[in-house]
Chain A
Amino acid sequence: MSRASGRELRAAERERVPGGGENERFPGFDVIEQAHTWDATTSGVVLERLGLQPDLRFFGPAEEAAAGALFDHLLAQWEEPRVPVVQMVDARLAEGQTDGWRYEDMPEDGEAWRRSLAALDVDARAAAGEDGVCFANLSREEQADIIRTVQSLESKPWHGMPAGHVWSLWTRYACTAFYSHPWAWNEIGFGGPAYPRGYMRRGVGQREPWEVADTHPEEDPL
């Protein structure tokens, strides 16, 4: 891609694409502004994530509702604009794009998703003591309780699957989708793709001119 056409594309993208919200730690940092320095193949793959995602093909409506609520919790996405994690995971499952392995005591990933989402609805009905209820209908706190329970079961079974293996499936798919998105890169200060330009300023405390310093360097989360 030539530099000029990259710039135009960048301007066009900036108008069309929501920025993903305020950036608290790296104010003003926007990795998309560097898209004009990326090779065309990479730009194509990355910028597609900012466009409209394919319609759902894998999840049925009930699964869609449960998955949406689950991902909101796993990734703390409470408002729009959201990184479209439900669509991104649905696309992987529809295409059978697995990680290339499954635990012996788990079904293939697609089936494991269907069963675990249905199980969330079963737990929701049990918690509410009502038949018509599903996981997505519960209050945020009730949903969080169910998720916490699954996490705390570790290697114990949960609806016929080891809870820890379900947890691994959920978090792997959720994190892969979310942290592939440029908005998430902005939030963490990651410089993104770097071909053909490369990185010039390496070493502790070094930044490229277009990278933004962390405004809370002492904010150790631990």
Chain B
Amino acid sequence: MSSFTDVNALTERLSTRRVRARNESAWLLPNDGTRFDKALIENMRRHRDADEVDLVIVGCGAGGSTLAQRMARAGWSVVVLEAGPFWDPDAHWVSDEAGSHHLYWTEPRVISGSDPVPLGSNNSGRGVGGSMVHFAGYAPRLHPSDFHTRTVDGVGQDWPIEYADLRPYYERIERELPVAGQHWPWGDPHGYPHAPHPVGGNGEVFLRGAAALGIEARVGPVAITNGRFGNRPHCIYRGFCLQGCKVNAKASPLITHVPDALAHGAEIRSDAMVSAIETDREGRYVTGVRYFLRGREHFQAARMVAVAGYSLETPRLLLNSANKHHPDGLCNEHDLVGRYLMVQGAPQTAGRFAEEVRMYKAPPPEVSCEEFYETDPAKPYRRGFSVQNVSPLPITWAEHVSAQGHWGENLRTYMSDYVHWSTLGALCEFLPLPQNRVTLADQRDRYGLPVVDMSYSMCDNDRALMKAAQARMEEILHAAGAAEVMTIQRFAHLVGGARMGRTAQEGVVDASLRTFSIPNLLITDGSVFPTQGSVNPALTIMALVDRAARLLADGARAGMRSPDPTQHEEYST
């Protein structure tokens, strides 16, 4: 027994050493109770606009930060332009819902279609770390079946890669975040580097209900440290993961990839809003990007540009970069930019228990079930859904209650019952449809740039999945002893809009995330997903970008033509 644990401990130590050798972020954080080492920012390498850097990255979120860290390590000169602030968790984040409003992208956006999707807090973030600053923390992998749903299930789209191509990158990122959870029996079965967290009342209810029905449910997988990791402390179960983790326990690129990127010479220029990508006179290569910083427009020259602005801002930037050679926007020869956008149907079902559950005490991500993930031939719909714990705090809970039509005295009474409710959320695999898309609205933001119009309409398969998932969650809660249940229809996550494909007719980028249209332009965020499965997307975004970074560093740079900056039409210094 003791030699067994010794071997385990040794393997763990070795693998931690390997993580540190490729990404030292967790060890570059302070160890004195503060959460970010400001010296890393003060000593950051700084480039001039006229320096033609190897790579400019637009957006410092899940995809952008991963790419920055990997390429800086590979010796590339990297500048990341990030529209939002450089967060200081101590000074900028609070343990409070309403006080966290500044974490979200709240520039104007228009929503339309037959099922318009509310954005803001529910969808996208800003600032260094991107949307993962306020993501819940679930970090599941896609299943092998996700990569060929067109061929096997007759819906969706096949990916230009297979699961096996991503597996090693999943493993690397899971160790860098790191992810905690029980052994995972679904998809490609695998274990996790950190042990599962103890569950709170909400997770307990889910496990109890699932056990009563003979449904498999597991604790995890969450990107939250269970034990020390470098200088990152253990989770303190305060429940404010969606407001940014002030503890440094929950992963976000701000603490998992940015410190190492800075230490290896990447520059992260915050409060820099990119307005357009520029091309050479013939429109063959990109030459750099225009951006606003402190009210002035700049141009940063670069040999290569990667766009990682999120599934809404990435298509918007490509469309806003139209020029005479690309009149419909960059990379849009086949009318694919902004299309095949996907949200997941995320019905949220709560159950009422006579006991006190107090679901706010624990990280909102606790337990998941992927048993209903793949197509069941006996069902009238294709593909499936997963079920996870969610635990709304008071304001979000009020949204749940008021969506039932309650207001006034009724609302107050229901709300006063908060401690008795436990909540589950499903993620339904909505299908990629061409009419679900980003276009430019007539309205402009404060920079004078046209804003996003996001149109969404569900198909019958989407609706059938929402219903099936709701029924399943109600069943689990009733089996756990809930006297009453109530559901609201929601959407979660957002991917696609510049999808990967085997050919230029099928996708905007190839399997290495290079655009088909312009050889030195990449797209490295969630926009590239051809389908989405029923998992939360952040881990897959990072794994895909890690893979693309490996290919880039392994020589794709060789033979890259450096565009002549004097050829640039608007170039002036």
**Which A positions have Cβ atoms within 8 angstroms of B?**
24-25, 38-39, 41-42, 45-46, 73-76, 97-104, 108, 144, 147, 151, 171-172, 175-180, 184-185, 187-207, 211, 213-214, 217-222
Residue of A102, A177, A189, A197 near B236 (CB, 8 A) is A197
Complex CA gap A42/B244 in Å reads 12
Asked if B395 and A175 make an inter-chain contact with CB atoms under 8 angstroms apart, the answer reads yes
With a cutoff of 8 Å between Cβ atoms, the chain B residues found around residue A189 in the complex are: 358, 416, 418-419
With a cutoff of 8 Å between Cβ atoms, the chain A residues found around residue B22 in the complex are: none
**Interface core residue of B107, B199, B358, B402 (most chain A CB under 10 Å):** B358
**Interface core residue of B98, B110, B362 (most chain A CB under 10 Å):** B98
Asked if B395 and A221 make an inter-chain contact with CB atoms under 8 angstroms apart, the answer reads no
A194/B238 contact (C-beta < 8 A), A45-B96, A45-B99, A180-B97 known: yes
A100/B355 contact (C-beta < 8 A), A74-B408, A180-B98, A202-B362 known: no
Asked if B119 and A179 make an inter-chain contact with CB atoms under 8 angstroms apart, the answer reads no
**B353 adjacent to chain A (CB < 8 Å):** yes
A51 to chain B, nearest CB (A): 15
A148 to chain B, nearest CB (A): 9
Complex CA gap A203/B206 in Å reads 12
Asked if B105 and A100 make an inter-chain contact with CB atoms under 8 angstroms apart, the answer reads yes
Interface residue ranges of B386-440 to A (CB < 8 Å): 393-395, 397-399, 402, 405, 407-420
A102/B108 contact (C-beta < 8 A), A38-B95, A179-B395, A204-B205 known: yes
With a cutoff of 8 Å between Cβ atoms, the chain A residues found around residue B106 in the complex are: 97-100
Complex CA gap A19/B111 in Å reads 41
With a cutoff of 8 Å between Cβ atoms, the chain A residues found around residue B240 in the complex are: 193-195
- The interface size of chain B toward A, counting residues with CB under 8 Å, comes to 75
Asked if A176 and B98 make an inter-chain contact with CB atoms under 8 angstroms apart, the answer reads yes
For this complex, 19 residue pairs linking A to B, each with C-beta atoms less than 8 Å apart, are: A41-B94, A42-B96, A46-B94, A74-B411, A75-B411, A75-B412, A99-B118, A100-B107, A101-B111, A102-B111, A104-B112, A191-B361, A195-B246, A196-B236, A198-B237, A199-B236, A199-B362, A204-B353, A217-B420
B83 to chain A, nearest CB (A): 13
With a cutoff of 8 Å between Cβ atoms, the chain A residues found around residue B360 in the complex are: 190-191
Asked if B358 and A188 make an inter-chain contact with CB atoms under 8 angstroms apart, the answer reads no
B95 to chain A, nearest CB (A): 4
Asked if B109 and A101 make an inter-chain contact with CB atoms under 8 angstroms apart, the answer reads yes
With a cutoff of 8 Å between Cβ atoms, the chain B residues found around residue A202 in the complex are: 198-201, 237, 358, 361-362
A175/B120 contact (C-beta < 8 A), A104-B111, A195-B95, A203-B201 known: no
Which residue in chain B gives the minimum CB-CB distance to A96?
B106
A90 to chain B, nearest CB (A): 15
Complex CA gap A188/B393 in Å reads 11
A217/B362 contact (C-beta < 8 A), A100-B107, A187-B412, A199-B239 known: no
Residue of B91, B358, B398 near A179 (CB, 8 A) is B398
Asked if B96 and A221 make an inter-chain contact with CB atoms under 8 angstroms apart, the answer reads no
B136 to chain A, nearest CB (A): 17
Which residue in chain A gives the minimum CB-CB distance to B107?
A100
Interface residue ranges of B326-363 to A (CB < 8 Å): 352-358, 360-362
Which residue in chain A gives the minimum CB-CB distance to B94?
A42
With a cutoff of 8 Å between Cβ atoms, the chain A residues found around residue B415 in the complex are: 179, 184, 187-188
Asked if B96 and A46 make an inter-chain contact with CB atoms under 8 angstroms apart, the answer reads yes
With a cutoff of 8 Å between Cβ atoms, the chain B residues found around residue A144 in the complex are: 408
Complex CA gap A76/B407 in Å reads 8
**Interface core residue of B109, B111, B355, B394 (most chain A CB under 10 Å):** B394
**B192 adjacent to chain A (CB < 8 Å):** no
Which residue in chain A gives the minimum CB-CB distance to B109?
A101
With a cutoff of 8 Å between Cβ atoms, the chain A residues found around residue B414 in the complex are: 221
Which residue in chain B gives the minimum CB-CB distance to A104?
B112
With a cutoff of 8 Å between Cβ atoms, the chain A residues found around residue B198 in the complex are: 202
**B227 adjacent to chain A (CB < 8 Å):** no
Complex CA gap A196/B354 in Å reads 30
With a cutoff of 8 Å between Cβ atoms, the chain B residues found around residue A176 in the complex are: 98, 395, 398
A195/B238 contact (C-beta < 8 A), A25-B416, A217-B420 known: yes
Interface residue ranges of B76-120 to A (CB < 8 Å): 90-99, 101, 104-112, 116, 118-120
Complex CA gap A199/B407 in Å reads 31
Asked if A188 and B119 make an inter-chain contact with CB atoms under 8 angstroms apart, the answer reads no
Asked if B238 and A198 make an inter-chain contact with CB atoms under 8 angstroms apart, the answer reads yes
Which residue in chain A gives the minimum CB-CB distance to B353?
A204
**B204 adjacent to chain A (CB < 8 Å):** yes
Which residue in chain B gives the minimum CB-CB distance to A48?
B99
Which residue in chain A gives the minimum CB-CB distance to B414?
A221
Which residue in chain B gives the minimum CB-CB distance to A178?
B398
Complex CA gap A221/B414 in Å reads 6
B446 to chain A, nearest CB (A): 10
B452 to chain A, nearest CB (A): 9
With a cutoff of 8 Å between Cβ atoms, the chain B residues found around residue A219 in the complex are: 417
Complex CA gap A25/B419 in Å reads 11
Asked if B420 and A222 make an inter-chain contact with CB atoms under 8 angstroms apart, the answer reads no
